[in-house]
Amino acid sequence: MNSLTGPMNAGLKRNSRLTPAARLGAHGAGPMDAGRNRNSGRTPAARLAPCGAGLLGAAILALLLSGPGIGQAASFSQIVDIVQPKMVKIYGAGGIQGLESYQSGFLISAEGHVLTVWSYVLDTDLVTVILDDGRKYQAELVGADPRLEIAVLKIEAQDLAHFSLNQAVPIQAGDRVLAFSNLYGVATGDEPSSVLHGNVAATTSLSARRGAFETTYRGNVYVLDAMTNNPGAAGGALTDRRGQLAGILGKELRNSLTNTWLNYAVPAAELVPAVDDILAGKVRPRGDDESARKPLDPVTLQALGIVLVPDVLSKTPPFIDRVIRETPADKAGLRADDLILFVNDRIASSCRAVRDELSYIDRIDEFRLTVQRGQELLDVVLHAER
């Protein structure tokens, strides 16, 4: 008797942007325990005022109050206890070709908004979010920003412990940090996320390393001396030594020249406008908006000269299969293998979503497509009648 069965739901078929036809596993690890409700009220003592002018004074006050010499600093284990309820484990597509089917995330609202990284793991209708206490939810994709490589998910829950992005703290080289994530998928169910410690080694821009590191992100990063960027760690939370949010752990990033891996996090401040847009519904499909009207004569893929890959899955990634010559798409420079991400800044994550989104655009109007070509993001302005 040496094979005790694990909590895997094997054999579910999923799709992936990278290999649409491949069979992907999906994890359904861990229990749902509706009876338990471990939440809220466990925010750090030194909270900052929510916004605006009050923030400045409150920030200084909080800094002074929590500074050295006043009171006893909380131990890391106490800090960890405060942060853990805000962490979630995310399971979705993947499980083949060395692609892990899990990643990390954290709650950014009491109502169940989860910030994580935008990745192939989310390329499925069945994204599962497991809270720190083991409660398990199916998550909905609220929106994403491929330039920042972030996504916001939503689960149907209330009164959750969470980070407030607006109260995130800036940190600098030399600062001690804690990194929370479900690296290697070590934790399942109500098992807590892993915690690493380290220091900020540098604050710098990844764009200086274009060509060496394959990433679409061009903004500032915190480079860390802790091994934060392990499989499954992306989307985890970087906090300062007091457990206050400082950034989000970035996706795995390998230097193709030296075969080394970069440990970095994206500063929370870089994310705020994008997350605000996502939460405001600006990137949601028009179809979600009941007041949206469809024009009588909308744009069609055929009119643009775009042929997408065969729509064989429930959520086929909208890769361009080919571009008809001498069409608007051809003239605008679109190519086969481009992956459509946005139509007029609204997220279009499947062939069906692209068709649906186009149906809200009048044939006489100009509009913008955002596509991914390799590691590049391109904006293309199209007009069906030119």
Partner 1 sequence: MTRGLDPRRWSGWLMILVAGMTGAAQAAEVPQTVLDAQQQRIAAIAKASEASISVFARGGGGGGSGVVVTPDGYALTNYHVVKPAGNHMKCSMPDGNLYDAVIVGIDPTGDVALIKLLGREDFPAATLGDSDSVRVGDWCFAVGNPFLLATDFQPTVTYGIVSGVHRYQYPAGTLLEYADCIQTDASINPGNSGGPLFNAAGELIGINGRGSFEKRGRVNVGVGYAISINQIKHFMGYLRSGRIVDHATLGATVTTGEDGQVVVSNILSSSDAARRGLQYADTIVSFGGRSISTVNGFKNVLGIFPKGWRVPLSFRRDGQRYDTYVRLAGVHAREELLAKVQGPAPQPEPQPKPDDGEKKEGDPQRPAPGQPRETPPPMPRPMPAPQPHGGQAEATPPEIAAMIQPKPGYANYYFNALNRTRVWDNFLRGGDFADLDGTWLFEGDLVSGGAVQVTLEQELASGQFNGSAARLDATQDLDQQSGPQGSGGLLAALHVWRRMLLLGPQRFGDVYYLGTVPLVGREGLFDAFVGTHDVIEARFMFHPETGRLAALEFWPDSAVDPCEVYFDDYRDVQGRMLPHHLEVRHGDSVFAELQWKKIDLSQAADGE
Q: Which residues bind partner 1 (CB under 8 A)?
A: 1-7, 28-34, 52-53, 55-56, 59-60, 63, 67-69, 75-80, 84, 98, 134, 136, 147-148, 166, 169-170, 172, 178, 183-184, 186-198, 219, 226-228, 230-231, 258-261, 269-270, 272-273
- 130 and 112 in contact (C-beta within 8 Å)? no
Which whole-number Å values give the CA distances from 144 to 25, 39, 236, 295, 301, in the listed order? Answer: 23, 26, 16, 26, 23
Nearer to partner 1, 258 or 291 (CB): 258
Residue closer to partner 1 (CB basis): 196 or 353: 196
Amino acid at 303: A
When the beta carbons of 7 and 374 are compared against partner 1, the nearer one is 7
63 — phi, psi (to 5°)?
Answer: -65, -45
Q: How far apart are the first and last CA of the chain?
A: 70
Least Å distance between CB 142 and partner 1? 20
Of residues 163, 142, 154, the one with CA closest to residue 280: 142
CB of 227 to partner 1, least distance (A): 3
Q: How far is the CB of 195 from partner 1 (least distance, A)?
A: 5
CB count in 10 Å sphere of residue 68: 6
**Shortest distance (Å) from residue 281 CB to partner 1:** 20
- Minimum distance between the CB of residue 245 and partner 1, rounded to whole angstroms? 12
The least CB distance from residue 155 to partner 1, in Å, is 15
Task: Give the 3-state secondary structure of residue 25.
Answer: coil
Judged by beta carbon, residue 4 or residue 296, the one nearer partner 1 is: 4
Closest CB to partner 1 among 79 and 265? 79
Q: For 192-345, where are the E strands, in sequence order? A: 194-205, 220-224, 237-240, 245-249, 254-255, 260-261, 264-267, 306-308, 320-323, 339-343
Minimum CB distance to partner 1 smaller for 230 or for 316: 230
